[in-house]
Every structure is written in C-alpha cells, then in structure tokens.
Structure 1
Amino acid sequence: MLFCAALVLHFSFGFTQDFHLPGKQQKQSLTFRNIKNLIVIPVMVNGKGPYNFVLDTGVGPMIITDPSIIDSLNFSKLRKIVVSGLGVETVEAFISQNIHVQVGRARADYMPTAILKEDFFNLSGHLGIKIYGLIGYNFFNSFIVDVKYSQNRIIFSVFDAKVKYKGSRMPIDIENQKPYIIAQIELKEGETVPARLLMDTGASHAISMEMLNGSAFPIPEKRIKANLGMSLSGQIKGYVGRLKHLSLGRYEFKDVVSGFPDFETISEKIDLKFRNGNLGGELMRKFDIQFNYREKFIYLKPNSFSKVPFEHDMIGMVVYLDQNEFKRVMIGEIDENSPAEKAGLCPNDEILGVNFKSIELYSLNELTDMFKSKSDRSLIFEIYRDQKIIYKIVRLEKRI
C-alpha cells in the first residue's frame, strides 16, 4: 500500500528547522514499531504525548493528521494550503511554524508543520494503532540516522560524532527534501535501465514503477489488476507484476513484486521528471540503512530479512479498522477476480473471526502475513453482513 507516497503538498516554508540533542550529547537510540513495513516512532508535540508518528522519508515538512493534539488551535489565523493525492480531490490543510517537537531527547522548536483538518488517510485504521502524523525531512536532515530494521531500532547521531559506517556506500540525491537513489532494473533479457527511485519509508510496498522515457513504465506480461494503495480520494488503481532483476549497487534481487500505478492518474499529480518510481519499506527493510542527508550518501548492510522472498498478498483484499472505535475489522477494496471475490466476500463486510479464532486475537500485521503465507491454504472467515453472520471459505492463490 502506498500510504504516504500518495501525498503532494502544494506549499513551501521559508526555512527548515533542525533538531538538536541537549548539551554535549551526540547520539541516541530509539525503539520503533514496524507495522506493515512502516516505521512508527513516539513523538512529543508541544510538550504532550508521546504520539505515534510515521517516520517517513517521503515527506518534507511535518504533517499532523489528527488536529486534536494541538490545543487552542485557531484555524482562522493560519495560512490555508492545498493538499492533493493521487486521485481527483483536493482538500484543505493549514500551516503553522509554532509547533514544538521532541523525538527522544532531540528537540526542535518552531517546526514547519502542515495540519490536516481531518484524518483523510485513515492511517490509524490501516495500521491498527492510532497514528497522529508523519515526520520526515527535518529529522533526517538533522542527524546521521541509522535505521536498524533488523532490531526495530533507530540510532541518530550529530554530524560531528564518530560514527562507524557499515556495509556498502551508495550516493543519494536530495530533491525537494526527499532522497533519491539509482537502481538498475532489467526490462527484458540482457537489457537493463537505470531507474531513479524515491526512497520512501512511508510506503509499505517493495517498489512501484511509474515512468520510463516520458511514458508508462513497461508492465510485465504476467500481471494482475490490483488496488495499489490509498490516496485522498480512494484507492490507486493499477497492476502488480514482478521485476525479473533489480540491483542496488552490489546487492541483487530477483522476482521483485512491483506495483505499476495507472500512469495517466499519477502523472497529473506528480512531477515524474524527477523519478522513475518509488522504493518502499518491503525492500528497504532487507537492509540496515545509515542515512546521511547532508553529505548525500547512505550505507546499506543486508540483514536477516535480505533472503526473504518477495510475495504479493494471495487473497486480494484490503482490511482496515473502522475509523470510529478502531476495533471492528472491515473489508475495503477487493481485487477483480481475486480469491476474496471468488469466495463471495464484499466491501464493507465486517470480519468477526478467522479459522474459528476471534478477530480480536489478531493484529493487522498478523492478518497481512497470513494473507501471503501459502498458496492453496484455506481460510474460514466469519462475516457480519446485513445483520447476519455468515461463513466464507477462501483459498489463497499465488497470483503472480
């Protein structure tokens, strides 16, 4: 799912605000939660919290998705901006330069922040815990940030600290407060092309290929129609297929599951001259990554996830928590001709249980892993629909 990659903010601030560690402290370690390949960290806002934020290299200024955490906020005194996603709608948001933020012991005052009037993304529902916002460039630009996916931990160090780099060094570019990296993609036997990819820790997929030479990136012959993620106006449509071969420096991957979003839709919302695609958490989590924005390089060190094969979900549906109580597990979009559609599951069905086990005993992470666990595995769903309880048997299918 393309959670945060679907966001375009049409505004700019006159300055950026750095974080600082107190006194002579040079580094800190912080545990994070990895949910659907997204990094969730605790953040203090205006001295209150901690609140769950997604640590997202794909955003510039900080974004607050739940305005309730800001006391006495007078929207009439804030400058209005336009926020658009990869759909047809635009929505209102407001900007503030009077937000004080703390991550661990690191503090930034007067943080440039975009505040959405409503949580249009329903990130909380899709991740299964309450999410209050996204934080990106200002944090990464303030430190050398070591994201240890293998340990669910980040270590951030000031730039004059003695940092031991591990792994293989690769250059990155920083454009519009976002990092880009070059990968080599095999189109067909013997033909590879360099692809400039946005490194996006706020996207849960492995990779999304969008453009090549000014038009849609070639889609593999073997592909399926799929809902690729969320935008402000709903699901992003496109295809899912596999890239035969991808390399990042000296690290190579085969049969990489890739999304291919509808080119006409995204080209209206994103300036694709800066990139060919989007590199997400499913692939990045195979490394422990050290980011150095100021000197424009990263270090990649393969970890225990590096040999885990890429798999697409074998059920073909989105599940999320209802946005009111975050307790009821609901079915969202269903892929055409998917196992979920064949079994008769429908959007807006409520899932009460799976395999005779109450849905309350599953996390959304566990359901996601289950849905891509094994082809031909049968799952029994207890469904609440139209004030009736029904049962549906779904047989998982490796579709690509």
Structure 2
Amino acid sequence: MLTKYAFVIQLSIHKITICVGLLLIGLHSVGQEFTFSGKKQKQSIQFKCVKNLIIIPVYVNERGPYNFVLDTGVGPMIITDPSIIDTLNFSLMRKIKLSGLGLEVVDAYVSQNVSAQIGRAKINYIPTAVLKEDLFNLSGHLGVKIYGLIGYSFFNSFIVDIRYSESRIIFCDVDSKIKYRGDKIPIIIENLKPYVDVDVDMYGGNKVGTRLLMDTGASHALSMEMLKGEAFPLPEKKIKANLGMSLSGQIKGYVGRVEAFHLGKYTFKDVVSGFPDFNSISQKIDLSFRNGNLGAEMLRKFDVQLNYQEKFMYLKPNSYANAPFQYDMIGMVIYLDQDKYKRLIVGEIDEGSPAEKAGLCPYDEIIGVNFKSIETYTLNDLSEMFKSKADRTVIFEMVRDNKVFFKVVRLEKRI
C-alpha cells in the first residue's frame, strides 16, 4: 500500500532538503570534527552510486557499518532509523522541529552523545538529529537499506575528492598537500551548506545569474525555484509533474529544460530541470539565499574536489560528462514496500504519461518486467531502463486485486 511517507521527486529523490536553522542552536559543537587516528592523513573508500546518490558505510557508536547517504545538502547528521542507537530514550532528549522542501514540520530529537566513523576517521560528538520513525523511506525508493544522511561535519573536516567515475571518495586532512585537478570554482558556505554561482540561459535568449545549493543528496540535475522573489520563469515547453510528496500531499510543478547551464568554464545544453510550484515551496523553505538546487545528475559529470575550509572546489570532467540529460519516459514512481522490501509498488503516476495511457494504477504490484522476475532487477536498473530510449516497449507483469495481468508501456520522450 502506498505510504503517506513516500518522499520522492519522480524517483530522483529530490531529497527532502533539511532546513537546519532550528538544529543549529545548541547542536553544533564547536571544535568537533572528524580526525584520523595516529599519523594517518588520507584514505580512499568505495561507495555505491544508486540513482546518482552516494552511499557510504558509516559506523555509529562503534557499531555497523550502516549505509548512509553522503549529502552536501544536510548540516547535522540525520539518523532515520533510531534502532541503530542503543538505549535511546526519547523522553530524555530535546525535541526540535524539522522542515523543508517535500517535508511538513515533523518532530526530531537532538542527541549529544553520538560518535561516527567513516573509514579510519572518527568524530566523537557529531551534531545529530534522530527521527523517531523513518519518515523518508529512502530505503524503499533506493532499494538499499539506508539508516541516515551525513554531510557538513565530514566535508568540513577534510578535503574531499568525489570520483564519480570510479565510485570512490578520497579524503585527507585540510593541511595536506593536494594535487588539484581541473578548474577552480569558488563556493559559498552558508548554514552548513555549499552554494555556487552559475549562469542559466533560458530559451528565448534570457540569461540569468543564479545561486544554487550544491546537493549530492538530490539525484536530479537542476531544480529552479525562485528568481527576484518570484517563481522562476517556466520554459515554453514543459510538462506537469508530481515533483514529490509531503505529509500533507503532493508537491506540484513542471519539468522542462533550460537552454544552457554554465558552471565555471563548462557549458551544458538542454538540461532537464524541475520547476516546483513557487507558492507551495516558498512556505516550506527559505529561498532568500538561493535560486534553486544543483543536483547529482549534474555533479556526477565531474570528479569533484571540495575544500570547505578555503571555500572552493575543483571540477574535472569525467566519462559521464557528455551523456545527454534524459528525463523519465514512463511517468510513474515505483518503490519497494516499506515493511517487506520485496514487493515493488506503483506510486504516483503523471497525468497523460505513458504509464497512465497503458492503464497502470497506483498500488499496482509489479512482479515482472520484460518476462523476467522483478528480483532480477535493482531499482537503479529499472530507473535507467525507464529513461533509456523513446519508443522502447516495456512489458509489466502486475498484480491488482489478487489478479495477475500484463501491461505494455511504450516509452516516450516527454520533454
């Protein structure tokens, strides 16, 4: 059954951007940072890349490892599954409120006694917000068990080299001698998050300067939200889309393309972007410092070296740099059942989409794709299939009302 906590943006996990203002008061411990033990100054670890998101192993209170999303878009560490912490007594913890895009105000709890370890680097008291229950259901949407998100404390402690092309991160002490690769671009650190100034060309010749949140925890390429205090101008060619869900309902908006996107000296054409409904999101997040969000589908085209201390990054194009920007060609969300993680369920379906035309419905269970059991696919496999090629035929074996049937969907380039 479709859970009301299914937070998604068309399977790009437009990640619930956490508003951390309330967390900063009394939570950010001065002087606390990750450090290597002994003389160790540098380490390399592999990560899983699922729907463009970086998933790394993290030890919490010397237990684990647990899968966490490495996310420049969050400040304090967020634990979404409190079962990983022993003897957690919520009645003794300070309760705070979390809010953000795709998220109504919900309760979280501040913990001052959490340690975290990534590789051989450890922090003894990491600023942490603990959710009493897993509202995000990232596990269901990624197909991998996820226990939380970690960001600022790690990035601020090291020079971090994200090598998307190798599924590897290399991190070293900030005073290490580093060979930077590529081109240097300034970043701005505000409220524990990195921002970058870029130019965006809209169709019709209108070039605008924007400030975007750099968000490795959002798997889309772009989300354009605001310009000069009002909604960001929509492109002429666009489609209505369900950009996500909150506890109170859907976040509506459009998906279109911008003519060109300029990041430093690099220019990308026909970039797919979301355009969330301004009236909805302006009530949920503070847009005063940003015009939108730069996600991992764009960032993964580079190997990225981040230096928070000196406020710059280096970008070097990698093997993904020339891949075209494709949008989902089926028009539906799928997720693994939150309780069993074995049943693949259809969630939101876009109006007028190929999925709707073929007669798929929310709550349908998918048990096979192209005459293969659903167990032979990962969610990442299916996500790539659904944006692979216009006119491709996908055959679904479904269960609805305890009856098995087949549906044939022809993929369509919608934007």
For normalisation by structure 1, the TM-score amounts to 0.98
Aligned twin of 1:11: 23
Question: How far apart are residue 188 of structure 1 and its match?
Answer: 3.6
Map 1:1-400 → 2, pairs under 5 A: 1-9=12-20, 10-12=22-24, 13-16=27-30, 17-87=32-102, 89-400=104-415
Deviations 1:260-306 (A, max 9, x none): 00101110111111000000010000000000001000000000000
Deviations 1:106-154 (A, max 9, x none): 0000111000011111000000010000000000000000000000000
Secondary structure at 1:273 match in 2: coil
In structure 2, distance between residues paired with 1:268 and 1:283: 27
Deviations 1:210-246 (A, max 9, x none): 0001100001111011122354545422100000011
Deviations 1:169-204 (A, max 9, x none): 000000000000011101244331111000000001
CA contact (8 A) 1:315 1:339 kept: yes
**CA 233–62 in structure 1, closer or farther in 2 if over 3 Å, else same:** farther
Report the aligned-residue RMSD.
Answer: 1.2
Aligned twin of 2:6: none
CA contact (8 A) 2:17 2:73 kept: no
In structure 2, distance between residues paired with 1:392 and 1:85: 37
Paired residues in the alignment total 400
In structure 1, distance between residues paired with 2:368 and 2:220: 26
Question: How far apart are residue 89 of structure 1 and its match?
Answer: 3.1
Question: How far apart are residue 205 of structure 1 and its match?
Answer: 0.3
In structure 2, stretches of 5+ residues that fail to align are 1-11
**CA 191–134 in structure 1, closer or farther in 2 if over 3 Å, else same:** same
**CA 14–364 in structure 1, closer or farther in 2 if over 3 Å, else same:** closer
Partner AA of 2:23 in structure 1: F
CA contact (8 A) 1:185 1:194 kept: yes
**CA 81–273 in structure 1, closer or farther in 2 if over 3 Å, else same:** same
Deviations 1:335-358 (A, max 9, x none): 110000011101111100011110
Partner AA of 1:8 in structure 2: C
Secondary structure at 2:126 match in 1: strand
Q: Which moved more, 1:43-52 or 1:227-236?
A: 227-236
Secondary structure at 1:131 match in 2: coil
**CA 366–252 in structure 1, closer or farther in 2 if over 3 Å, else same:** same
CA contact (8 A) 1:87 1:265 kept: no
Q: Which moved more, 1:5-14 or 1:371-380?
A: 5-14
Question: How far apart are residue 160 of structure 1 and its match?
Answer: 1.3
* Identity, % of aligned positions: 67
CA contact (8 A) 2:23 2:76 kept: no
For normalisation by structure 2, the TM-score amounts to 0.94
**CA 72–37 in structure 1, closer or farther in 2 if over 3 Å, else same:** same
Partner AA of 2:60 in structure 1: V
Question: How far apart are residue 252 of structure 1 and its match?
Answer: 0.4
In structure 2, distance between residues paired with 1:110 and 1:20: 12
Partner AA of 1:346 in structure 2: C
In structure 1, distance between residues paired with 2:246 and 2:314: 31
In structure 2, distance between residues paired with 1:233 and 1:98: 33
In structure 2, distance between residues paired with 1:14 and 1:158: 20
Partner AA of 1:11 in structure 2: L
CA contact (8 A) 2:102 2:244 kept: no
In structure 1, stretches of 5+ residues that fail to align are none
Secondary structure at 2:383 match in 1: helix
Q: Which moved more, 1:221-230 or 1:343-352?
A: 221-230
Aligned twin of 2:5: none
Question: How far apart are residue 92 of structure 1 and its match?
Answer: 1.0
Question: How far apart are residue 2 of structure 1 and its match?
Answer: 3.8
Q: Which moved more, 1:138-147 or 1:76-85?
A: 76-85
Deviations 1:43-84 (A, max 9, x none): 000111000000000000000000000111011110001112
In structure 1, distance between residues paired with 2:164 and 2:248: 31
